[in-house]
Each structure stands twice: as C-alpha cells, then as structure tokens.
Structure 1
Amino acid sequence: MINRRKFLLKSTIGTSGILLGVNALGKTIELKSASNYPIVISTWDFGIPANQAAWKVLSKGGRALDAVEAGVRIPEADPKNHSVGASGYPDRDGHVTLDACIMDEKGNCGGVAAMEYIDHPISVARMVMEKTPHVLLVGEGATQFALENGFKKKQLLNDESKKAWQEWLKTSKYQPEINVENKYYTPQKLPGNQYNHDTIGMLALDAAGNISGACTTSGMAFKLHGRVGDSPIIGAGLFVDNEVGGATSTGVGEEVIRNVGSFLVVELMRQGYTPENACKEAVNRIIKKNPEKAKNLQVGFLALNKKGEYGAYAIQKGFSYAVCNSEKQDTLIKGQSIY
C-alpha cells in the first residue's frame, strides 16, 4: 500500500533506472535517477559534516533546497568554526556580521548581508526568498526582519573570537592569509597577528534531478564595518540554473564579484565545459585581469552539473571540497589550482 504523503525511493539510492515517487497531489510520478545522484558537494573540510546533514534529507527523497539549508546550518552553529555563523570573527569594530544566500531549482533566491545578532543567516535568507518580493536584505533591516519572523537575538561575539580580535587590534594590519580556513579547528596566531577564514558554499542535486545551492559566511576577519563580499550575492557567490547546474565560490569575495564568478561558471557549463574546466576558466579570467595581484590571493570555484558531475579549481594550492553521495559520505578532495 503506497503512502501518498511520502516520497518513495528504491532501497538503494543512486542506482541507475527509474524511481517512483508521489507528488503533492497524490499522483505517482517517475523520478529520473543516475548512478551519480542524489549528490551534495561543498567547500572546505567543514563541508564533510555539512554534507552528512544534507544527505539525511537527500537519502529520503527530500528536496535539494531543504538539503542545502540543513547542511550549511551545521558549520553556522559550530563553535569551532570562525569562518561561518555564530562564532565568526568580527569586523575591525568588533561586530560579527553574517552573510548568506540560497537559490532553488526554479530560480527563486534570497539573501541577507551584514546581519547581526542572528546565528543562522541561511534560514533568514530562505525566508527572504519565500516570504518577501525581495532578493536581498541588509544590516539592521535584515535583523529586524529575522526578529519579526521568530528568530531570536543572540550575542555572536564569543570569547575566542573576541580574543583574536583584541590581538589583531595591537597592529590593526589587514592582510588576509591564503587558505587559513583549513586551520579553523585549531585557531592559530599567524605571523603579524593576521587572521583569515572563509565560506561554505554547497550544491545539491536531488533524486528528482533538481539542483539548489546555499552559501554562508561571517566574511573576512576584521574587515571594514559594513563590508560585504560575494557570499550573499546571487551570481557571485552562488548561482543555480536547473537546466545546466550550479556553482559557488570561496576566497576573496571582491574578485569574485568583479567577475560575476558563479554565474560565469554556470554559463560556461551551458556552453559545454565540464564543471572542472568551467571553474578553471573562471579562475583564469581573474588572473588575466591582474596577474601580479592574483599571486597573493585565493579564489576557488566549485561546480555541479545536471548529470551529477562535479569539479573545482582555485588560484592557489590548498583548496579542498567535500563530496557526499550513496557511496561515500565523508570524502574530501583536493582541488586543482593554477599556482
């Protein structure tokens, strides 16, 4: 007897063939599936636990949008993670400001930027998408919207982040370090009292063949108050086109914005580029504009196409990304790089 309120999948998710499901109207539908999806991918080593949370949704036939939101909420809540969410490093004035965006298979999208006091910006971004006619809310307006919709106000500057900020104030030298985000589990004092960190971008392809993405960050450590990078900006930090695939970015957001990076990667895949080659070309566009500058900064792109094929490329060595599907839930892959 079919329970028409639940999605039905074959016991072995990810095998080739046709899967049967039930839509909201109670009609049986066919779900096109392939050996390499459902799948979820995300940036950096903290993408592993994030992917595992997303996989809990995907493995039950859930929607990619729900999966990416659930996934990136894990690093947002991690007290060890000074790159994302509640434990992020503050700006130069001591304010922890958070950025995030989300995009679904229908082209719906929402984001928040420079938002304070709310520890799950990705969920506020989704609410912006679903409950307002807007795409992006910023600053006090974003916080007000969150509070009006049931989110709780929270002091985000924790003791460890505050200590790092106070140490930085001794020199107030802003010089981001490449790939320091990989050291977030054991925060370190860096040469010259420099600190840096990064973003989680996540892309998921569900059993119905639909793709969604999410991106969330606390931004660059000790940035100017009010600075916003690429992470909450659709087309820069994240872009999804359900006919083609999706892309997300990490690294120095200003360079991604200048090149509308994630949109570029998706458009290159539309032209026939593989995910990896599309990411490589986007990286090369950044380098060609200013080769000398590019030698001292990191930008990486991660992409997933509609076939469930994925790839990444970065300017510098050290970029990694996590992959999760029916065969593997804890795989970390070293991304290719130009330098």
Structure 2
Amino acid sequence: MSLFALDRSALGRTLAEESAAPTQPIVISTWDFGIPANQAAWKILNNGGRALDAVEAGARVPEVDLNNHSVGRAGYPDRDGHVTLDACIMDEQGNCGAVAALEYIDHPISVARLVMEKTPHVFLVGEGAMQFALENGFKKTKLLTPESEKAWKEWLKDAKYKPTINVENKLYQPVDKLPGNKFNHDTIGMLALDAQGNLSGACTTSGMAFKMRGRVGDSPIIGAGLYVDNEVGGATSTGVGEEVIRNVGSFLVVELMRQGYSPEAACKAAVDRIINKKPAKAKEIQVGFLALNKKGEYGAYAIQSGFSYAVCNGQKQDLLLKSKSTY
C-alpha cells in the first residue's frame, strides 16, 4: 500500500470520528429581545428537535410581543398607517420561503415556512401573501395597536424620517419616553444548529417605521437579510436594509466563512465593504451582521457600537453580548 493510500485512510478515519461526535445545539439572535426568542427555540433544540422548528418557534415570540415596535403585530406602520410585515426562513437543505408587505397576519414567519413547504415558489407579497395565509388557516387580525397608532400620528406632525441608531435597545420604553427621534425599525434574525449538526435560520420584521407604502428591506430577502449553507454556516443582518441588499450581505458573510474566515471576521469584512463603498453615509447609519458556523462558533460585527445579540446553549440560556464595531 502506498504512503498516499495510508494518508487517505487516516484522514478518512479522522473525518468519520468527527462526524460521529455529538453536536452541541445552539441558537443565536439579534438584539436584546432575542433572549426570550432564543429560550423558546431552546425548548425544541434541547429535546433533540430540528433547527428549522426552533427558529420558527423563536421568531414567533417577538411577532406577538406588544412591547416590541420593530417586529410583528405591534410594529410601527408605514407613512399611510398600514402595518406590513416581512419574513423569511431557510432550512438545512437550502429550501427557503418568504413573505413581504403582508397585512393582517400576525405570524409572517409561519406563513413564510408554508410558502417554502407548500408552494413551488420562494416569495409571496402583498395581497397574494395574505390570501395564501388565509387559505391556510391563518386568521385576519388588526395589527395597528393603539400605541403604534399614537406614535404614527405624532410622526405625522413633521413627517420626517431619520433613523436613530440602536433605538432597538430602547423599544421596551414607553413611546413618549424615548429621547430625540424615537422612531426606527429593526428585525430579529435567528440562526440555530441542532443536535444532528444541521443549520437553519429565520428573520422577521415590521420594517422601517413610517416607510413609503410598499417598501421592503433586506429581512425577507434570501441572501440579504438571511442566508444558510449547511456545509458552512449561516448569517443574518440588522439595521438599514437598503445597504444590506446592495451588498447581498448575509450571503457574503457565509461565503467568507467558506473561505476560512471566523464568524466575527466574516461579519467585519461585510461591514467594511459597506463602509468602503459609502464612508460618509456609513457614519450615520447602523448595519450589523451575526453569524454561526458549522462548528457552533459565532460572532458579530457592526458599523456603530451598541449592537447586541443573544446566545443560548447548554451552558447558558440568556447570554447577551455586544458586538465589536467600527465606530
């Protein structure tokens, strides 16, 4: 037997041993409100459940949290007073589904999953997405809450839009107690690795507060707000979606991990690309990326300081970390 054959045999044994090693489940998500979302996902992961089921269950938590004005039914409306929701989901096999500009349905992440599993399509929008949801048993619900309506009417006095960086961390304060320009948007992006070693991700949002009617950001766009490759890892984004879309940010992060970058280094490289293209604009906006690789390693990076992300695993279920940043 040649030396080359011996080397290949040794390598084969090593790979077999590695593949047989148990995977430690983990779920990570963006922002402080990722903690309760992660805990819901963990109930599934900790029982040996599938990562896809975990991220859907986790994303559903902020979707119905009436204190959260950047995700789900309590989200701020567009400038015409309509609450429209966006979401996408992706599994370990590369299957994906998404909805955008969805009205009157309070769990867009579950509708997105049905698009993935029950249709030949990836993306449904607007009235078509709502019709599909109703046909599949979802109930029509008024999404504009009294608090969100009050905030919208206050905004109408000046009708100016300028996002406040990292206002997401203040979402649990009463509307009239927030400093300065208190209206903003954001999302929850979730990534999970299950005990079988499979990855899935989910992303859901009510989008930019007081956006133009019909505006869709990065959150429901596969490759922008979310991307999962079961051979490599997954990534999700937060912040001003237009800049994420222009750089196909989450796909970029995953491809950099494929090249050997750590999750944090891949996130930083994606942020650097945004900054280098528009350095002056980048100083006024927030974009952050969060990534999880196949080994269960995770990391994040943002343009501005203050981006937080939640981590949940067998050691700790309520860990909250701050990402590194350029500014």
Matched, 1:300 2:288: yes
1:115 to 97, 102, 123: 102
Structure 1 residues 177-326: aligned runs within 5 Å: 177-189=164-176, 193-326=181-314
State the alpha-carbon separation in 1 of the partners of residues 147 and 182 from structure 2.
15
State the alpha-carbon separation in 2 of the partners of residues 132 and 249 from structure 1.
26
**1:31–1:226 CA distance, 2 compared to 1 (3 A):** farther
Post-superposition Cα deviations, 1:16-48, rounded to whole Å, max 9, x if no partner, equal xx9xxxxxxxxxxx86424xx200000000000
State the alpha-carbon separation in 2 of the partners of residues 187 and 178 from structure 1.
18
State the alpha-carbon separation in 2 of the partners of residues 99 and 32 from structure 1.
37
Q: Match of 2:49?
A: 62
Structure 1: runs of 5 or more not aligned: 1-17, 19-29
SS at match of 2:172: coil
Tell me how far 1:194 sits from its aligned partner.
4.5
Q: Match of 1:14?
A: none
SS at match of 1:33: coil
Q: Is the 8 A contact 1:184 1:197 kept in 2?
A: no
Post-superposition Cα deviations, 1:197-225, rounded to whole Å, max 9, x if no partner, equal 31000000000000000000000100001
Q: Match of 1:3?
A: none
Residue type at the aligned position of 1:263: F
SS at match of 2:157: coil
SS at match of 1:247: strand
* Aligned residue pairs, count: 311
Residue type at the aligned position of 1:125: A
1:38 to 25, 32, 36: 25
Residue type at the aligned position of 1:270: R
Structure 1 residues 77-226: aligned runs within 5 Å: 77-189=64-176, 193-226=181-214
Q: Match of 1:327?
A: 315
State the alpha-carbon separation in 2 of the partners of residues 332 and 300 from structure 1.
15
Q: Is the 8 A contact 1:167 1:193 kept in 2?
A: no
Q: Is the 8 A contact 2:203 2:219 kept in 1?
A: yes
- Provide the TM-score with structure 2 as the length reference: 0.93
Residue type at the aligned position of 2:183: Y
Post-superposition Cα deviations, 1:115-167, rounded to whole Å, max 9, x if no partner, equal 00000000000000000000000001100000001000001000000000000
Residue type at the aligned position of 1:206: D
Tell me how far 1:192 sits from its aligned partner.
6.0
State the alpha-carbon separation in 1 of the partners of residues 68 and 192 from structure 2.
22
**Which segments of structure 1 move beyond 4 Å, counting only runs of 4 or more?**
189-194
**More helix per residue:** 2
Q: Is the 8 A contact 2:62 2:68 kept in 1?
A: yes
SS at match of 2:165: coil
Q: Match of 1:23?
A: none
Structure 2: runs of 5 or more not aligned: 1-16
Q: Match of 1:336?
A: 324
Tell me how far 1:187 sits from its aligned partner.
3.5
SS at match of 1:264: helix
Residue type at the aligned position of 1:99: D
State the alpha-carbon separation in 2 of the partners of residues 50 and 109 from structure 1.
20
Residue type at the aligned position of 2:315: E
State the alpha-carbon separation in 2 of the partners of residues 70 and 191 from structure 1.
33
State the alpha-carbon separation in 2 of the partners of residues 101 and 324 from structure 1.
21
CA RMSD after TM alignment: 1.5
SS at match of 1:333: strand
Residue type at the aligned position of 2:167: V
Residue type at the aligned position of 2:63: E
Q: Is the 8 A contact 1:101 1:122 kept in 2?
A: yes
